[in-house]
Amino acid sequence: MNLDERDEMTGRRRWSTEEILDTAAELLRTTDAESFSVRKLAAALGTDSSSLYRHFRNKTELLRAVADRILLAAMDGYHPEGDWKQRITGLALRLRESFGEQPQLATVWGRYASSGTGSRLFMEELLQALRASGLPDEKIPVRYHRIAILIAALIASEAGTSTLPPAEYEQGLELFRVAVLGADPDRFPALAQFARDVRPLGADRRAAFEEVLAAQLADVEAQIP
């Protein structure tokens, strides 16, 4: 007896791929990718894990598909504006905003390669922008790779902070202040000198994001004949 016949006998509902991804996305709003499991997803749908494996071979493939939907949503309605640097900056900020609504999936996107439509749209726009810069074709793939890694790393880093419960975040800030302001000036002279101006990693994320990306784009610009 195959799975379809067994579902008919038990009266169990057959879920579409989109319905499965919708439910997975909702679960990932309250749990991280490590804690997420196909079994938990099946329980939320009122089915068993075997029925989900018709759509996805494993948990990794499922997470990739959910993360790709974030990319697809980010690219929906996207229209390139400005010069090549403005296009890449706008693209990066657009992805940052989309993953900010589902930070648990930011690390999934950074960790696993995706072959979905959303991923292809992102890759196409980044490559097109680099081609518009005047950079020689032979240098574009390497620069694309570095910029893509940078964007994914910055978004994942920010997501790691944003998913902390408020109490844990505040505790981290207090520990940071104690560690910095209480540093022994003999052992940590530079830290003691700049202690009152050094800010925790969670501060000014957007400004840091744009400045680090701008530095990378300036390096690209320096390579243009």
| Residue 164, pLDDT score | 65
Residue 118 and residue 185 in one domain: yes
Q: ∠ at Cα 141 (112, 92), nearest 5°?
A: 60
Q: What was the pLDDT predicted at 113?
A: 66
Regarding whether 100 and 16 lie in a shared domain, the answer is: no
Domain assignment of residue 45, given as a range: 1-56
What the block records as the tokens of 124 is 């196409």
Task: Examine residue 169 and state whether it is found in any structural domain, yes or no.
Answer: yes
Same domain assignment for residues 136 and 201: yes
Indicate whether 72 belongs to any domain.
no
Per-residue confidence (pLDDT) for residue 172, from 0 to 100: 77
Domain co-membership, 42 together with 87: no
Q: Are 93 and 146 in contact (CB under 8 A)?
A: no
Q: Mean pLDDT of successive 10-residue segments in the chain (225 residues)? A: 46 80 87 83 90 89 90 92 96 92 82 81 96 96 95 84 71 81 90 86 79 96 93
Helices (H), the chain: 3-10, 17-27, 38-45, 49-52, 59-75, 84-100, 106-111, 117-132, 140-162, 166-181, 189-194, 205-222
Instruction: Give the domain CATH number at 52.
Output: 1.10.10.60
Predicted local distance difference test score (pLDDT) of residue 9? 46
Asked if residue 108 is part of any domain, the answer here is yes
pLDDT at 205: 77
